[in-house]
Amino acid sequence: MIYWDHAGTTPPDDDVVSTMAEVMKKHYGNPSALHQYGEEAAKLLKKAREVCAAALEAEPSEIVLTSGATEGNNMAIKGAALQYKSRGKHLITTRTEHPSVYESFRQLEQLGWEVTYVPVDANGRVDVQALADAVRKDTVLVSIMHVNNETGAVQPLMEIGQTVKQRNHRTLFHIDGVQGFGKLEVSLKNWQADLYTLSAHKFNGPRGIGVLYVRRGVELFPLLSGGQQENGHRAGTENVAAAVGMAKAMRLGRERQPEFYRQASLIRNKLLQEIAEIPGTVMNSSREGAPHIMNFSYPGVKPEVIVHALEELGMLVSTKSACSSKLSEPSRVLLEMGKDMSIASSGIRISLGRHHRLEDAERLIDALKTATGKLRPFIERKGTTN
């Protein structure tokens, strides 16, 4: 089997797994405890935080450990809205965000906040002028993702950050960076980011842990009450082993990013070109997207049919976001990009990892040609009878 669902989750590096196993066996003390085992765990946690901060060119005090991107996004969005509601109750995002962002805003709408959803173009990129026009004196937060998890569309974060701060310097700028770290360059200062979310299992780290960057001076209303861990941002005993594993994965991800970009771009471009030539396919991703995610549709066939047909041929691909892939609704992202219902209901996502090579892409293309070749007569027959 060749695994093409790295946007869903990535296999943890062997070094990450071995490091975590060692920490779990030898350093199981609670880092809040005052005895020797607790102090040893606290030192490991401190070092992990420093490594994570260095990978983002941030300060260790700006790193909040979370259980992953869903918690991080909820913490950033709801925590900022609740903390700064005296400034206003207006928020800005798009309808192409990950469910953990989109549903957070929908929930805040139900609680009385006003949300402006900025449109995107046919390639999924934010209309920056529309965003600029939407920022008001009472706008507390703008949340825009770095890389779209379905199509790979890359947002112009530097332009967005400058626009937001020029319109209202007090408006906070949150970035869901889950699909960008380790694939594209990250520059929180140039983007003027106040909040930035990561999840370790998207860059060959462990599941169940992530990072929320909280710029110094920004306060968040804590969603989890209890102890004073994470400088009061998040109560709960820290997962030391996972934090150490994530720190190693972040360091490796940043070091490998230039080579990953080069190799993945070659493979993605080949896939974009050759899949577009297969009869009946519709490409939903542009060449300007991130190097590791591409999306196409095969209208007339349910996407799960293609997924299982490719699986029988040794290729593992996915449909929408892993959080939504088992739902039968059309892709919200593709609909917002202006795709019709047949295209939005049949999207297939291919996402690359660092071990993929051009020969793997050739095998995937051959498998897709075989699968669609078998299905095409049924589509044509169905079209004839309609």
Q: Annotated catalytic, 323?
A: yes
Give the side-chain half-sphere CA count within 13 A for 346.
19
> Pairing state of beta strands 347-351 and 293-297?
antiparallel
| Angle, CA 180 vertex, CA 197 and CA 78 arms, to 5° | 20
Residue 74 CB contacts under 8 Å (≥ 6 apart), including other chains = 100, 104, 223
- Alpha-carbon distance of 304 to 348, in angstroms, equals 9
CA-to-CA separations, 72 to 11, 151, 227, in angstroms, rounded: 21, 22, 18
> Quick one: which of 139, 158, 155, 98 has its CA closest to 290?
155
DSSP secondary structure, 76-134, as one string: HHHHHHHHTTTT-SEEEE-TTS-HHHHHHHHHHHHTT-EEEE--B-TTS-B-HHHHHHH
Residue 382: burial class (beta carbons within 10 Å; 0-12, 13-18, 19+): exposed
What residues contact 366, with CB distance under 8 A and at least 6 apart?
Answer: none
**260-272 CB burial, b ≥16 within 10 A, e <16:** bbebbbebbeebb
Which of 323, 335, 375, 379 is the catalytic position?
323
Q: Burial level of 153, CB count in 10 A (0-12/13-18/19+)?
A: buried
Q: Closest Cα to residue 360, out of 262, 284, 264?
A: 264
- Residues labelled catalytic: 323
